């Protein structure tokens, strides 16, 4: 990675729901063409982080800190402005229109596409399965296909940074591998910058460059994946025998 400003950067990001401090993150940086995994158990604060990056929330949390996209402070911008600048989120479960067909779902994104947008052919080359399902509605797709369509929709908008919240959830193990490998290809072949949020540490560790482990809203450990693989905290909690 070069010394250029990170594509996405958070500083002193804190989120509290009432008296409950759900996130306290001194710094998180995503470099250009980097795939960073934020992992942690259920309730660790992963979605809270994702929502704070996007400037979105369920309920009424107190949020403080800075978020920068390509060096520009976007902390005060509403979600749709962050999205327009290329900070794209695929939320848990994948955002697709259940009543629209695959074609229509993709067209809905293309209408708002930027210069960074992937073409339809590029999207189908990444997810050939979607081409076979063109006339199926979002509601008729399997969990894996829905996740692919959600990522495809984000690509059609033209991401600067892509944030994926638990893309593996509810997917058969084989599909988890397939979806995450495609994400890796986007990084390797297209230089996309991706923040991958996952409870599935075992799967995430196979594709990311760096891993950030969070627990109760705080960073417990972080580093290049090669080192994190040998971290006793990761092994004990996630990789060892009898681990989650
Ligand atoms: N809208 C909300 N109101 C109150 N507490 C919340 C809300 N959303 C999340 N929390 C709390 O914040 C903590 C982190 O939740 P979350 O970010 O959803 O975890 P994860 O995505 O890692 O499973 C949990 O203790 C959760 O109960
Ligand atoms: Mg979550």
- Closest ligand 1 atom, residue 45 Cα: 17
Give residue 59's pLDDT: 82
Give residue 138's pLDDT: 96
Nearest to 162 by CA among 183, 182, 138, 189: 183
Q: Whose CA is nearest to atom 12 of ligand 1?
A: 22
Whether residue 244 is predicted with pLDDT greater than 60 in this model: the reply is: no
| Per-residue tokens: 91 | 């939320």
Around Cβ 58, how many Cβ atoms within 10 Å? Answer: 9
| Cα–Cα distance, 145 to 166 (Å, whole number) | 15
Of all ligands present, the nearest one to the C-alpha of 45 is 1
Distance from Cα 99 to the centre of ligand 1, integer Å? 29
- Closest ligand 1 atom, residue 49 Cα: 17
68 in Cβ contact with 29 (< 8 Å): no
Kindly state if the Cβ of 43 falls inside 6 Å of ligand 1: yes
| Cα–Cα distance, 124 to 51 (Å, whole number) | 29
Give residue 230's pLDDT: 87
| Cα–Cα distance, 145 to 85 (Å, whole number) | 27
163 in Cβ contact with 197 (< 8 Å): yes
Kindly state if the Cβ of 48 falls inside 6 Å of ligand 1: yes
Instruction: Delineate the domains of the chain, giving CATH numbers in brackets.
Output: 22-239 (3.40.50.300)
| Cα–Cα distance, 75 to 12 (Å, whole number) | 12
Q: Render pLDDT for 183-200 as a digit per residue (tens, 0 to 9).
A: 999 999 999 999 999 999
Distance from Cα 183 to the centre of ligand 1, integer Å? 26
Q: Render pLDDT for 129-158 as a digit per residue (tens, 0 to 9).
A: 999 999 999 999 999 999 999 999 999 999
- Closest ligand 1 atom, residue 59 Cα: 1
Give residue 2's pLDDT: 47
Q: Given its phi and psi angles, is residue 100 left (phi above 0), alpha (psi -120 to 50 degrees) or beta? A: beta
């Amino acid at each position: 990675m070069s010394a250029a400003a990170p594509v996405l950067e958070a500083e002193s990001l804190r989120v509290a729901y009432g008296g409950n401090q759900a996130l306290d993150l001194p710094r998180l940086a995503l470099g250009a063409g980097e795939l960073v995994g934020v992992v942690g158990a259920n309730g660790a604060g992963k979605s809270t982080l994702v929502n704070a990056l996007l400037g979105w929330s369920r309920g009424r949390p107190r949020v403080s800190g800075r978020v920068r996209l390509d060096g520009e402070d976007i902390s005060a911008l509403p979600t749709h402005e962050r999205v327009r600048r290329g900070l794209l989120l695929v939320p848990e479960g994948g955002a697709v229109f259940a009543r629209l067909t695959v074609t229509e779902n993709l067209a809905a994104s293309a209408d708002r596409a930027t210069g960074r947008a992937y073409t339809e052919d590029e999207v189908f080359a990444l997810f050939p399965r979607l081409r076979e399902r063109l006339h199926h509605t979002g509601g008729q797709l399997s969990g894996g296909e829905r996740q692919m369509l959600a990522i495809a929709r984000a690509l059609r908008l033209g991401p600067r940074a892509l944030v994926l919240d638990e893309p593996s959830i509810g997917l058969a193990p084989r599909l988890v591998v397939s979806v995450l490998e495609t994400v890796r290809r986007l990084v390797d072949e297209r230089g996309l910058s991706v923040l991958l949020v996952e409870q599935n540490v075992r799967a995430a560790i196979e594709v990311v460059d760096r891993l950030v482990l969070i627990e109760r809203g705080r960073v417990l450990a972080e580093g290049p994946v090669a080192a994190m693989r040998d971290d006793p905290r990761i092994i004990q909690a996630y990789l060892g025998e009898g681990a989650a």
